[in-house]
Amino acid sequence: MEHERVLVLDFGGQYNQLIARRVRDLKVYCDLKPCDMTIEEIKAYDPIGIIFTGGPNSVYDETSPHVPKEIFSLGIPVLGICYGCQLIAYTLGGTVAHAETSEYGKREIVKRKENVILQDVPEKSISWMSHTDYVSKVPEGFSIVADTAAGTCPVAIMADDARRIYGLQFHPEVVHSEYGNQMLKNFLYEVCKAKGDWTMSNFVAEQVAKIKEKVGDKKVLCAMSGGVDSAVAATLIYKAVGNQLTCVFVDHGLLRKYEAEQVMSVFKDGLGMNLIKADEAENFLTRLEGVSDPETKRKIIGEEFIRAFERIAKSIGKVNYLVQGTIYPDVIESGKGKSAVIKSHHNVGGLPSVVDFDEIIEPLRDLFKDEVRKVGFELGLPADVVERQPFPGPGLAIRIMGEVTREKLETLRDADYIFRDEIAKAGLNKEIWQYFAVITNSPTVGVMGDFRTYENVIALRAVTSVDAMTADWARIPYDVLEKISVRIVNEVKHANRIVYDITSKPPATIEWE
């Protein structure tokens, strides 16, 4: 089945992945592509609509990204958001001005004219602004549909219904914009005439058919970490090829407390998968000795994973395909096109250049985390598997700052277990997206009894999120934090100081390395 598609052109804004998520939530498939796509490439993509994202630049800066004017003559509806709105105005002959003060935060916008974009939106609503430049004069053919009540933004929404081109100076994709989702829905369904054929049930059926066709009667090896992504990927492949699939769980010695036992219990005993456990801890920990750089750690772990799978594959006969649970945020953060590399994920940027398989299959590569969870439920996986909090492939290696040692691993496992235990006891485990402990590389002085101690600070990290592209630090009650802190310093060796990370993403990432 060929899905209808919306093209989201990326101009470098911090919320751009959220735009793609919102479109998919509205059951329309979309791809986030570099803003320098050529007209020929856009035509070949054949979108039902195009969205220009926000971005940090000024349209008057010669180095800023622009689009050819021809894009507005393709007959394809266009929606510009923030910088995208200014770019439309600038390219089509309007005027963009520079404000004395940046406008950032919640603003009340007022409907000045009925328009398809504002269908089912009240006369006044709150939207999220984040800009310095603004459209001061709309191009010929456009009308001003909404402005701000305070008069700080004279063109909050502009529209050219004849050419189906629209501009929003604010960010409809963020939750702070009360009716932002409705405006995006109006663009997709009323302007682009979308049918809404992107559902996870359709995705499962299509992937199963594709995998069957690709694999035929050959053997498949799946990298099973026990996390949500690999569990869903493995189940999807199993649905397609059955006993041709062998799942391999590599215990790299970097797992949480009791993790290995839980993985074998859930997936081998509970779900009945053909799951082999490979004890590779010694190989991984030996390779990591003396290594402190996080990127080097990730690449070593990525290579060791692949080598472990290769060895196991040879022991069970010819295996043609390797399956991984790579998802879209992994790909984005590892760098794509001209995008910056935030960090190399062990299963993307960390892969070695030579892999002894015919091909790597990544059935979830284009999905966001919440879409993966929906696929898991479609496949009938139990809630305690699908809703499990994310755990990185490199494991505790990237939650230990500096060199990974066995002593630090023991300390971190115990601290992390207490943190997770107390969060569950407080009934917060379903409210918080991800929560874990980190051992920093910063020793501080403490006193326990009559003795001086000098140990690395242990940091606690807990965030709320929807898709891991953005996250906010979780407001854990003080009394719960106190219980966690008291237990860790009393029950865990080499723990004398606990701190809590109150940084959101961005500017930080969820993981510390």
Backbone angles phi, psi at 81, to 5 degrees: -115, 125
Burial (0-12, 13-18, 19+ Cβ within 10 Å), 348: buried
Band (354; pLDDT cuts 50, 70, 90): very low
Predicted local distance difference test score (pLDDT) of residue 399: 96
Q: Do 169 and 177 contact (CB within 8 A), yes or no? A: no
Active-site annotation, residues? 82, 171, 173
Question: Which pLDDT band, with edges at 50, 70 and 90, does 100 fall under?
Answer: low
Evaluate if residue 339 carries a pLDDT over 60: no
**DSSP code, position 216:** T
Fold classification of 200-386 (topology level):
Rossmann fold (3.40.50)
Confidence of residue 101 (pLDDT cuts 50, 70, 90): low
Helix/strand number for the chain, H first, E second: 14, 18
Distance of alpha carbon 26 from alpha carbon 125, whole angstroms = 21
Q: How confident is the model at residue 350 (pLDDT cuts 50, 70, 90)?
A: very low
Query: For position 334, what pLDDT does the model report?
Result: 53
pLDDT at 307: 84
436, amino acid identity: F
Closest to 170 in 3D by CA, of 67, 302, 238, 79: 79
Both structure tokens of 131? 């800009």
DSSP helix/strand/coil, 510: coil
CA distance 435 to 463: 7
Position 348 pLDDT exceeds 80: no
Contact, 275 vs 252, CB < 8 A? no
Give the number of C-alpha atoms closer than 13 A to the C-alpha of residue 94, restricted to the C-beta side.
27
CA 115/CA 112 separation, integer angstroms: 9
221 close to 312: Cβ distance less than 8 angstroms? yes
Q: What is the reported pLDDT for 61?
A: 86
Per residue in 364-401, pLDDT (tens digit) is 998 988 899 999 999 988 887 888 777 888 899 999 99
pLDDT in tens, 120-154: 999 999 998 876 788 989 999 999 999 987 777 88
Confidence of residue 340 (pLDDT cuts 50, 70, 90): very low
Lowest mean pLDDT among 81-90, 133-142, 415-424, 463-472: 463-472
Q: What is the pLDDT of residue 269?
A: 84
**pLDDT tops 50 at residue 301:** yes
| pLDDT band for position 82 (cuts 50, 70, 90) | very high
75: left (phi over 0), alpha (psi -120 to 50) or beta: left
Identical fold between 5-191 and 200-386 = yes
Burial of 483 (0-12, 13-18, 19+ CB in 10 A): middle
Q: What is the pLDDT of residues 315-329, one digit of tens each?
A: 887 888 988 888 877
Fold of the 5-191 domain:
Rossmann fold (3.40.50)
- Read off the pLDDT of each residue in 248-252 and give the average, rounded to a whole number: 90
Residues 6+ apart with CB under 8 A from 35: 9, 10, 11, 12, 52, 53, 55, 65, 67
Token pair recorded at residue 247: 């799942």
Tokens coding 265: 């219990």
Count of C-beta atoms within a 10 Å radius of residue 257: 18
Query: What pLDDT does 467 receive?
Result: 64
Asked if 72 and 91 count as a contact pair (C-beta separation under 8 A), the reply is: yes
Q: 352 pLDDT band (50/70/90 cuts)?
A: very low
Q: Are 414 and 268 in contact (CB under 8 A)?
A: no
Does residue 77 have a pLDDT over 90? yes
Cβ atoms within 10 Å of 491's Cβ, excluding its own:
12
| Confidence band, pLDDT 50/70/90 cuts, at residue 103 | low
Write out the DSSP string of 20-60: HHHHHHTT-EEEEEETT--HHHHHHH--SEEEE---SS-TT
Q: What secondary structure, in 3-state letters, does 388-403 show?
A: CCCCCCCHHHHHECCC
401 contacts 412 by C-beta, under 8 angstroms: no
Residue 355 pLDDT:
53
Q: Which of 406, 397, 476, 394 is nearest to 434 (CA)?
A: 476
C-alpha–C-alpha distance, residues 107 and 154, integer Å: 12
Q: What is the pLDDT of residue 347?
A: 46
Integer Cα distance of 170 and 157 in angstroms = 8
What DSSP line would sit under 413-438, residue for residue?
HHHHHHHHHHHHHTT-TTT-SEEEEE
Q: Which fold has domain 405-500?
A: GMP Synthetase; Chain A, domain 3 (3.30.300)
Q: Is the pLDDT of residue 466 over 50?
A: yes
Query: Which residue ranges make up each domain of the chain?
Result: 5-191, 200-386, 405-500
State how far the Cα of 186 lies from the Cα of 472, in Å rounded to an integer. 29
Q: For all residues of the chain together, what is the average pLDDT?
A: 88
Percent of the chain with pLDDT over 90: 62
Helix (H) or strand (E) holding 295: helix 294-315
Measure Cα distances from 276 to 49, 132, 280, 310 in Å.
46, 56, 12, 14
What is the CA 109 to chain-centroid distance, rounded? 30
